């Protein structure tokens, strides 16, 4: 069975998405490129678009796409509490008929924090995946602690492995994969190159073995999300190229 390829709407650039008419306008491009699904980004919504989630869900379904939902927020707040907005995000994901809600980790320190999370997930029925972001909270050590606590507590929460974000926080993606791979259920694919004092995401190159070797360390059946820039006069053709590349590798 072919692996699933998800296209993150942010890959087209926030300004380009707005000019096109919002994330809904990108769906025919994504479907036309042969992708399996779309990652909808909460930060790209206007207020009116956020109120129209049922319409967006219908459009996604009509095009035969799977949906997942990303909220630009952390699971735990700075004081170690479960994010009070999480129920809202879970409900929005459910309205989209999303396969999962993706958030970053935030300030996790103790497995006792997970009791409230278990109750909330049981109530919502939505799957949650937690991503390594570009902050200290997304470094390997806290992600390992969280993974271990979920295992001990038998909590059905898995990880999104962002291949590029490790570089932003000074970590080795390969080392992270060695420790986290068994808990990974979704992969954000991107290559990265040095830029000013940091990095910038770039499309994977056929001649660059690093990203390919890194994918080999991660679960082969995990859906792969395109989160690198997709640019050009024919966005469907550009997207199709990378959909096919990631499906084959």
Question: How many other C-beta atoms lie within 10 A of the C-beta of residue 232?
Answer: 11
Which of 107, 166, 108, 171 is closest to 134 using CA atoms? 166
The confidence score (pLDDT) of residue 196 equals: 82
Percent of the chain with pLDDT over 90: 86
Summarised one tens digit per residue, pLDDT across range 138-160 is: 999 999 999 999 999 999 999 99
Pair 167, 173: CB distance under 8 Å: yes
202's tokens: 């770039």
Three-state secondary structure of 29-73: HHHHCCCCEEEEEHHHCCHHHHCCHHHHHHHHHHCCCEEEEEEEE
Question: How many other C-beta atoms lie within 10 A of the C-beta of residue 169?
Answer: 16
Average pLDDT over residues 59-70: 98
Overall pTM surpassing 0.85 (yes/no): yes
Which pairs count as long-range contacts for 170-176, CB under 8 Å and 24+ apart, including other chains?
170/139, 171/139, 171/140, 173/214, 174/213, 174/214, 174/217, 175/140, 176/132, 176/140, 176/143
> What values do phi and psi take at 38, rounded to 5?
-130, 140
Average pLDDT over residues 104-123: 91
Between 133 and 111, name the one with better pLDDT.
Answer: 133
The confidence score (pLDDT) of residue 91 equals: 98
Pair 123, 94: CB distance under 8 Å: no
Banded pLDDT at 249 (limits 50, 70, 90): low
């Amino acid at each position: 069975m072919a692996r699933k390829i998800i296209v993150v709407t942010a890959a087209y650039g926030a300004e380009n998405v707005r000019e096109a008419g919002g994330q809904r306008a990108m769906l025919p491009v994504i479907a036309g490129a042969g992708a399996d699904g779309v990652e909808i980004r909460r930060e790209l919504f206007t207020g009116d678009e956020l109120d129209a989630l049922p319409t967006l869900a219908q459009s996604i379904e009509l095009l035969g796409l799977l949906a997942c939902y990303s909220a630009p927020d952390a699971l735990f707040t700075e004081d170690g509490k479960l994010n009070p907005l999480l129920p809202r995000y879970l409900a929005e994901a459910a309205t989209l008929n999303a396969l999962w809600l993706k958030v970053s980790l935030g300030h996790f320190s103790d497995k006792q924090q997970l009791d409230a999370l278990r109750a909330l997930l049981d109530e919502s029925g939505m799957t949650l995946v937690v991503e390594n972001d570009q902050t200290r909270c997304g470094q390997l050590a806290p992600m390992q602690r969280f993974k271990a606590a979920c295992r001990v507590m038998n909590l059905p929460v898995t990880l999104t492995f962002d291949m590029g974000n490790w570089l932003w926080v000074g970590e080795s993606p390969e080392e992270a994969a060695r420790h986290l791979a068994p808990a990974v259920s979704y992969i954000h694919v991107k290559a990265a190159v040095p830029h000013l004092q940091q990095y910038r995401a770039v499309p994977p190159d056929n001649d660059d073995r690093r990203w390919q070797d890194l994918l080999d360390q991660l679960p082969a059946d995990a859906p792969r999300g395109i989160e690198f820039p997709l640019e050009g006069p024919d966005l469907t053709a550009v997207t199709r190229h990378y959909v096919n590349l990631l499906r084959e590798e």
